[in-house]
Structure 1
Amino acid sequence: MSNTQTAVPVLIVGAGPTGLMLASELKRHGVVCRVVEKMPVPSDKSKALALHARTLEILENCGVVNKFLEVGNPAYGASLYHAGKRIVHLSIAELESPYPFALMVPQEVTEKILYDQFISAGGTVERGVELLKLTQNNESVEVVLKTADGKEESVTAQWLVGCDGAHSTVRKALNLHFEGSAFEEQFGLADVDVESEIPDDEISTFFHEDGVLVFFPFGKKRFRIIADLASDKVQGTAPTIEEMQTFAEQRGPKGIKLSNPRWLAWFKIHARSVSQYRVGRVFLGGDSAHIHSPIGGQGMNTGLQDVYNLAWKLALVCRGAADPKLLDSYNDERHPVGQELLKGTTLATKVATLRNPIALQVRNRVMSFLSQQDVFINRMRKVGTMLAVNYRNSAIVGEYREAAEITLKQSDDTERPNLPAWIEFARGPLPGDRAPDAVLLDQDLNPVQVYEAIRGISHNLLLFDGKPTEEGYRNLETLAWSIGEQFGGLINCHLILSCEKIPTGLRFPGKVFLDPDMAVHQTYAANSECQYLIRPDGYIGFRSQPAKLAPLENHLVKIFSKLKVQI
């Protein structure tokens, strides 16, 4: 046994979807990282399936979404059935997203795509490597690894991220309790071919007095089936295809036939989480920080979004462009998301697995009634697709708005909002919200999605003119030039004009887009001059009405370590 000493900026423990996502993102941001994984080979099990709309938007920004679209099966909604009748239908085809569906992709395929992305960027994954020891101080994290050939290696990392799953070695080394409990029921899982009229393009759930039966469509009549069962009735290490056939006949549609099983398993559902996602220089992401019911298919999505939130912040710190205190916002923003998800999925699972006949009737009637209410349905669409996730309570988001009474005073300032514009802005996307997508026109009048315009690793400042005035153009030009001088490539400036052609004499230091029908202005409630700062993760970091430099600079010092940064 020998001991070698190496150093690395970021050490990632775990090479599942969460670890590979973080590794790819750090690579994209220009940060050197090392990835180690205890398992000698990747898993060949389908495990997590659904990629929701918000995750697909993120994968688009990462430049890899098309790989998933090529192999995935879209589900455009969900239906709930009882006693042979559909009692609820939820369509997400109307979702305000480029991806109005849940994409069914087996987890081993997701891992392969993310792995290939990381490798193509020059990364490597070291398999068969186990974390033995972890200590840290104010300057670094010291770990001891056991390599695949049995040797011990001492590693010094500036930062360490545990993405090593529900049985996380990193979490245990930090002495963090995985608080929570397990559900009493056991659940049977089968990946099988299905002969039935069950649709291939939505998730189908069948309620029955004996339990619930859920079908997730892989496409081409292949499904993931999940059924619950009292724990004392479970036999063997995995259900047989005959047992799953019995569940399907008892609870599902008539005439159903299952065949060609590729994976059969019993599993228990746990609802657990840690009290904090950061301890000093060590972070937790994905299942190492939280596990919950698979209902809704949001577990893997949450892990991917955890590290997407962390990556840009960690990159700024590693590049010297941000103070390490920025990293506090990772826990502040993501821990509440994980807690809400845990509560919501626990409640949904308890409701779905009700067996009391009276409770079943009440549940079905309430759900049928709520499914007819537009407000409820719209909320469920956003929650289920994770578009509702926001960071409105974060300390690193903010806004500037003048007092309402100022809008009523006479002024020569053409960029000051009137009262209707002030009220409309209050109803627009808020700091901490996901930036909405919309269609712009470039200078050649070609359509460009907002998401395409802001794609990359930088912050993006969207400057809206509200209404075309020379004074407004000069103000926005001056603001953009100042931001460019202070922050260089860290912030890209975009001017969005409510006119049909570029004004002559415009000297804007960034991209200029046209919005002649005001569609994008309306999406961002920009009826008068305003600005939106979009973070690298696609969330609104700051907004103001009108667009003023001083309030923006006051916000930016919360993010960046100093002005006059050039990277």
Structure 2
Amino acid sequence: MVVPTSSTSARPEVLVVGAGPSGLMAALSLTRNNMRVRIIEKSPTHRIGQRGAGITPRSQELLKALGVIDKIMGEAIPTPMLKMHDLHGGLHSGKIFEITPYTESTSSIPYPNIMCLGQNNLERILRNELEEAYGVTVELGTELVTLTQHADYVSTKILKNGVTENIDYSWVIGADGARGIIRKQLGIPFTGETSNVDNICVGDVIIEGLDHQFWHMWGDAATTLISLRPTETPPLFNFIISGQDVDREGFISTEGLLQRFLAEKLSAPELRFGALPWISTYRPNIRMVDTMGTGRVHLVGGKLESSTPSDITDRPTIDSAHVHSFTGAQGMNTGIQDSFSLGWRLALVHHGLASPSLLATYGEERLPVIKEMLSQTTNLLNKNLRGQAKPSGWRREGNLLQLGINCRWSSIVVDQSIEDSHLQDVKDVNPIDSYGRTDGDMTVRAGDRAPDVSGLRLLHAKFPTSRPRTDPHRLTDVLNGTHHVVVLFSSDIERCTATLALLASYPEDVIRSAVIVRDGEILPPGSQDPDFIFEDAEEYAYATYDLENQCDVIVIRPDGILGGVLKDDKGLMQYFDRILNGSQTR
């Protein structure tokens, strides 16, 4: 039965296919940017299982911009310390060490630690936000059957409850997995390899009597490796079991076999092994696309790949743009960042404020990051799950926090702190180092994550921030994933007035302005008022943004990336000409 759908102005403009973290983040980003979204999920039920539980500091910053970080931090737990045990040695402890050292917040890094929250619970929080704040509900048991691109729309055939719907959308976002229909219909290859690290079983198990303050590990990958990570919902533990004598198919097909295996290998009679809410076999695939989309259809996301579903396993968990090893808390976070990077671009193009060519820069910026992510996670896989793996291989710090991820090479960033900021020269000065600053250079450049700043005193605000007005503020309190924020480090009234007048000539829904004055300074009243005025009360702002070559303006994109490091209005115009494609109103 085919039901034609009538045209209506309230019809969704974007179809998001797949309701994992990447799809949900894409839907949230787009709805916040005033786009009507429909999100569908082929599975008849919401996913269960911890899966990719690590949320990196960079993703936490983006989740703050979406307004959900407090809910997430209210449930998430820090990455626990690792306690090593001998096989058959019970709970007698060997070495204890930190997987990721716990760090206090700083001015520039508000969320310094990888936090653990099961993917099922993260998805629940994102779904609830999408429904409660925007009235968008994930439609389960709803499958995209075909799509056809046209010049100004995408026609789709969708199967829901046995009824086929023919609906046109302006855009389609594929978060439906490497095995999903969208990548295949676009004809985008998925190149890479399948790792020869196999015989791995992953899942969740109830264990009574095991200390929930530690991540426990027994043995090594040469024979048997057992990893039991505590979750935010005791007494549930997430497990990874690998090795030559692991009967992963038997664990799935034979009830109670895994629990008996654990009891025998751990030799800890005080432990009681209960239900398996989720279990799956796993073999790593290391693959990625060579383009993030074409025309009006774009891809986001990456998860680990599992295989061999059965009665108590979930379907394979892979997303559309990349599949990877589960090690390192990188893949899900990379997918979250994909979605955020695409969302603001798509909204500008859809609303007629930017050329469709802006969408090409999505892949230009993200593909090098994905490539490096695959390299990082594959190296970790080889350290952790091959032969005599060392405990130190499980450390998660440094660039795995993803704070150094950048796009300094992007064709749409403008950096006047480099004398000659033509694109090729910038690439020569800053060759692609997508995971960040391996040379130790901490200079702020266009294309970097915008460092946060704390200790700001709010003097003036035209719009709400994420804190009460009288509280000390952070720079990220004015970032909401929808606007470019232009920040002037100056109290010179003529300088500020001229720049603010220029900004006023652009569409008002695109840009917000902020002026940061030094401690004790004021910004005299002028003909143009910024949206926000802050005093650098604790002197962090001018220290953090100690810009070179007389630069005193930064442009922070909706995804928290520094789009511009600028010294004059010519540079500002150059930046927005690249983004808005002549959308100036003057």
Which TM class, normalised by the smaller chain length?
Answer: 0.7 to 0.9
Instruction: Give the match for residue 438 of structure 2.
Output: none
Secondary structure at the counterpart of residue 433 of structure 1: coil
Contact 1:61–1:456, Cα closer than 8 Å, also in 2: yes
Tell whether the 8 Å contact from 2:203 to 2:280 is kept in structure 1 after alignment: no
The reply to whether residue 464 of structure 1 matches residue 496 of structure 2 is no
Mapped to 1, the partners of 2:352 and 2:121 lie a distance apart of: 35
Counterpart of 1:434 in structure 2 is 449
Residue aligned with 2:27, SS: helix
**Which amino acid is the alignment partner of residue 553 of structure 1?**
M
Q: CA deviation at 1:476?
A: 2.1
CA distance in 2, matches of 1:394, 1:288: 23
Alignment deviations for residues 479-533 of structure 1 (CA, whole Å, 9 cap, x no partner) = 1222123342311111111132424445533311111442111112248651110
1:288 & 1:554 partners in 2: Cα distance?
34
Give the C-alpha shift of residue 9 in structure 1.
Answer: 2.4
Using the TM superposition, give the Cα deviation of residue 143 of structure 1 relative to its aligned residue in structure 2, in angstroms.
Answer: 1.8
Given the alignment, which residue of 12, 20, 23 partners 1:16? 20
- Do the aligned residues in 2 keep the contact of 1:17 with 1:110 (CA within 8 Å)? yes
1:100-179 correspondence to structure 2 within 5 Å: 100-120=112-132, 121-148=134-161, 150-179=162-191
The AA in structure 2 aligned to 1:298 is: Q
Shift of 1:556: 0.9
- CA distance in structure 2 between the partners assigned to 1:483 and 1:85 by the alignment: 58
Which amino acid letter does the alignment assign opposite residue 479 of structure 2?
I
Tell me the equivalent position of 2:428: none
Q: Tell me, which stretches of 5 or more residues in structure 1 are unaligned?
A: 372-376, 405-425
Give the match's secondary structure for 1:321: coil
Q: Quick check: 1:46 aligned with 2:58? A: no
Question: Would the aligned equivalents of 1:196 and 1:253 in 2 still touch at CA under 8 Å?
Answer: no
Change (3 A) 1:258 1:385: farther
1:91 alignment partner, one of 77, 82, 101: 101
Which of residues 513, 532, 555 in structure 2 aligns to 1:533?
555
What does 1:26-105 align with in structure 2 at a 5 Å threshold?
26-75=30-79, 79=82, 81=84, 84-86=94-96, 89-94=99-104, 96=106, 97-105=109-117
Structure with bigger strand share is 1
How many residue pairs align between the two structures? 518
Mapping of 1:316-327 within 5 angstroms?
Answer: 316-327=348-359
Matching residue within 477, 481, 492 for 2:501:
481
For 1:164, give the aligned amino acid: D
Quote the Cα distance in structure 2 between the aligned partners of 1:564 and 1:490. Answer: 11
Given candidates 335, 354, 369, the residue that maps to 1:337 is 369
Distance 1:536 1:253 in 2: 53
**SS of alignment partner, residue 23 of structure 2:** helix
**Distance change >3 Å, CA 526–CA 203, structure 1 → 2:** farther
Q: Which one of the candidate residues 221, 226, 236 is aligned to 1:222?
A: 236
Report the AA paired with residue 227 of structure 1: I
- Among 262, 274, 284, the residue aligned to 1:260: 274
Correspondence 1:275 to 2:296: no
Per the normalisation by structure 2, the TM-score is 0.80
Q: Determine helix, strand or coil for the equivalent of 1:344.
A: helix
Residue 6 of structure 1 and its aligned partner are, at CA, apart by: 5.0
In 2, are the aligned partners of 1:323 and 1:561 still within 8 Å (CA)? yes
CA distance in 2, matches of 1:253, 1:477: 73
Instruction: Report the TM-score when normalising by structure 1.
Output: 0.83
Whether 2:397 is the aligned partner of 1:381: answer yes
Residues 277-319 of structure 1, C-alpha deviation per residue, up to 9 Å, x if partnerless?
Answer: 1122211111111111111122222222111111111111111
The one-letter code of the counterpart of 1:395 is: S
> Residues of 1 paired with 2:512 and 2:585: CA distance?
13
- Which sits farther off after the overlay, 550-559 or 110-119? 110-119
Q: SS at 1:45's partner residue?
A: coil
Identical-pair percentage: 28
Q: Which region of structure 1 is more displaced relative to structure 2, 232-241 or 66-75? A: 232-241
The correspondence for 1:542, drawn from 545, 556, 564, is 564
For each residue in 1:65-110, what CA deviation from the matched residue of structure 2 results, as whole angstroms up to 9, or x when unmatched? Answer: 12212222222x6547476224765304246532233332222222
CA contact 1:183–1:268 (8 Å) conserved in 2? no
Partners of 2:512 and 2:49 in 1: how far apart? 42
Q: Superposition pairs for residues 183-198 of structure 1, below 5 Å?
A: 183-184=195-196, 185-194=198-207
Please name the residue that 1:512 is paired with: 533
Local SS of the residue matching 2:158: strand
RMSD of the TM alignment (CA)? 3.0
Residue pair 1:461, 1:533 contacting (<8 A) in 2 also: yes
For 2:354 and 2:247, locate their aligned partners in 1 and report how far apart those are by CA, in whole Å: 56
Mapped to 2, the partners of 1:144 and 1:3 lie a distance apart of: 10
Q: What amino acid is the match of 1:45?
A: G
Q: Which amino acid aligns with 2:163?
A: K
Q: Please, which runs of 5 or more residues in structure 2 have no aligned partner?
A: 87-93, 302-318, 421-440, 460-468
Q: 2:345 aligns with which of 313, 318, 342?
A: 313
Cα pair distance change 1:233/1:329, threshold 3 Å = same
